[in-house]
Amino acid sequence: MLEWCGELSIPAVTLWAISTDNLSRRSAAEVSSILAAVEAKVAALARDPRIHQRRVRVKAAGRLEMLPTSTVAAIRAAEEATAGYNDSLALTIAVAYGGHDEITDAVRALLREAADEGKALADAIEAVTPASIARHLYMAGLPDPDLIIRTSGENRLSGFLLWQSAYSELYFTDINWPAFRKIDFLRAVRAFQQRQRRFGG
């Protein structure tokens, strides 16, 4: 997937590995299996020469404190190994992520910042704006997604990038993620290119 994006000079990609809802609702065995796969893949990314050749910067977004220490360690190692790559492709791995959680945490961080600055409640309230919330999101500084691809036949976002997806184009496919091929990716990109974006207009 990253190679395909690199070929098209796509600057930022976010992959959703597991949600906060899944962490709490799925069986312990299933969660353990998913996290083991995430841990192995992230560790492999940190060592993959193609990641370094393409200068892919890896970051994680979510409530990482909910994850096992071994998973967090693998994520931090990948982040550190690619920290100097700011000029090519930004890969964000959303893990222990939920859109409601992200917005809640951003508002809390904004209010905490106001409290640390000694602002009165009325001033703190006035400081809550779309721009100030955006600065405190997990993925602050990254562009909002132009295209969101949802696999597996579900026609919903399920809490993915709720704030950032306001003007995103959505593409739904019945194909399950493991079977998602380059031709399927190119079909999604072609569909996106054929749309007339209105950005709320």
Per-residue pLDDT, 201: 62
Helix axes 28-47 and 69-81, enclosed angle (nearest 10): 20
- 178 pLDDT band, cuts 50/70/90, is confident
Q: Please say whether the beta carbons of 167 and 190 come within 8 A.
A: no
Closest CA to 177 of 58, 41, 24: 41
Alpha helices in 48-136 (DSSP H): 49-53, 69-81, 99-116, 121-126, 130-134
Per-residue pLDDT tens digits for 141-170: 999 999 999 999 999 999 999 999 999 999
Query: Quick one: average pLDDT of 87-93?
Result: 92
For the cut 90, the answer to whether the pLDDT of residue 88 exceeds it is: no
For the cut 70, the answer to whether the pLDDT of residue 134 exceeds it is: yes
Per-residue pLDDT, 196: 84
The CB-side HSE value for 110 (13 A sphere, CA atoms) comes to 24
Per-residue pLDDT, 152: 92
Per-residue pLDDT, 85: 86
Query: Quick one: average pLDDT of 9-34?
Result: 94
DSSP state of 180: -
Q: 3-state class of 127 per DSSP?
A: coil
- 86 pLDDT band, cuts 50/70/90, is confident
For the cut 70, the answer to whether the pLDDT of residue 43 exceeds it is: yes
The distance from CA 3 to its chain's CA centroid, rounded to whole angstroms, is 18
Q: What percent of the chain has pLDDT over 90?
A: 90
Query: Quick one: average pLDDT of 82-102?
Result: 93
Query: Quick one: average pLDDT of 33-58?
Result: 93
Per-residue pLDDT, 198: 78
For the cut 90, the answer to whether the pLDDT of residue 199 exceeds it is: no
Tokens of 162: 């709720």
The residue with tokens 């400081």 is 127
Q: DSSP string of 136-158?
A: TSTTTTSPPPSEEEE-TT--S-T
